[in-house]
Structure 1
Amino acid sequence: MLQFKIRALAPDEPPPMQLLLLADPSEEIIFSYLHQSHTFVAEHATEIVGALVFQLQDNSTAEIMNVAVEEDWQGKGIGRQLVAYAIDLARQQSIKRLFVCTGNSTLPALALYKRCGFTIESIDKGYFLRNYPQPIFENGLQCTDRVKLRLEL
């Protein structure tokens, strides 16, 4: 089994932007939520191989803002462990609902969230066309719609 640890990003440590950009191609949008979120990293030895950005919305709601795993490390369970870490964190804080949003073309992420117990809450049609200046293509599909998923805790 792959050995890695998840830890909070230190206050003086820069966010792993290249990693976060794997899950969200807009630095502007990432910076818009980073300052009000908690960032965690998955490390193997001293190498950061994954990241999680978690944000409390109110006393009963939180959102996973970003989950990313280095491409060479994908498929090894790191993403699943980061999502499980977010679920545990939400439970520890008595959160009742955990949300995550992803693109309609991000098929591996959609499958991961569904395997972790999330259900589709809503679809914002045209979200990526309205909010991102450059077209996004993944898995041979254009990313156009934002899929919001919910987990009741």
Structure 2
Amino acid sequence: MIRPIKKVTAQHYQLFLNADPSRKVVNSYLNRAYQFELVHDETLLGVLLLIDTRPETIEIVNVAVDESVQNQGLGEKLIQFAIDWSKQHRYHTIEIGTGSTSFAQLYLYQKCGFRVVSVDHDFFVNNYDEPIIENKLVLKDMIRLKKELH
């Protein structure tokens, strides 16, 4: 079941950090985000954070699934929930950004209908204090994707 988060716990926060390793960055958007959790039998399995970015546009700023239950379709379930929720709330566009080395995420987002619209060069170099290594590569650029909802 996906539902609003009533109170952010340490377990929620750890999942946020799995998706975005900077506490500073997570804290910059956490309090203004629509916050959702994916639970099964009251066990937290995943999280989703959405923020308004422009009129009629919303962005998925954080989506994460607990490592113990990855590759079971739960990330896709969270993304589809974000799309459906955004349509119900009359948004016209949903956006997401991910690292250029985040191959599985890029596949998932495109599978869910998102299209690449731009590259934010050196985003992770300029916005994170520590280098991020992913898939044995230093992460530098953010790939921006969007999906029209009409």
**Which TM-score bucket, shorter chain as reference?**
over 0.9
The CA distance in 1 between the partners of 2:134 and 2:16, in whole Å, is 16
Structure 1 residues 59-85: Cα deviation after superposition (integer angstroms, max 9, x where no partner): 310000100011111101110000000
Equivalent of 1:22, from 11, 18, 29? 18
Equivalent of 1:64, from 60, 73, 81? 60
TM-score, structure 1 as length reference: 0.93
TM-score, structure 2 as length reference: 0.95
Identity over aligned residues, as a percent?
36
User: Aligned-pair RMSD on alpha carbons?
Assistant: 1.1
* Structure 1 residues without counterparts, runs of 5 or longer: none
Residue aligning to 1:119? 115
Residue aligning to 2:42? 46
* Structure 2 residues without counterparts, runs of 5 or longer: none
The CA distance in 1 between the partners of 2:35 and 2:101, in whole Å, is 25
User: 1:94: Cα distance to partner?
Assistant: 1.2
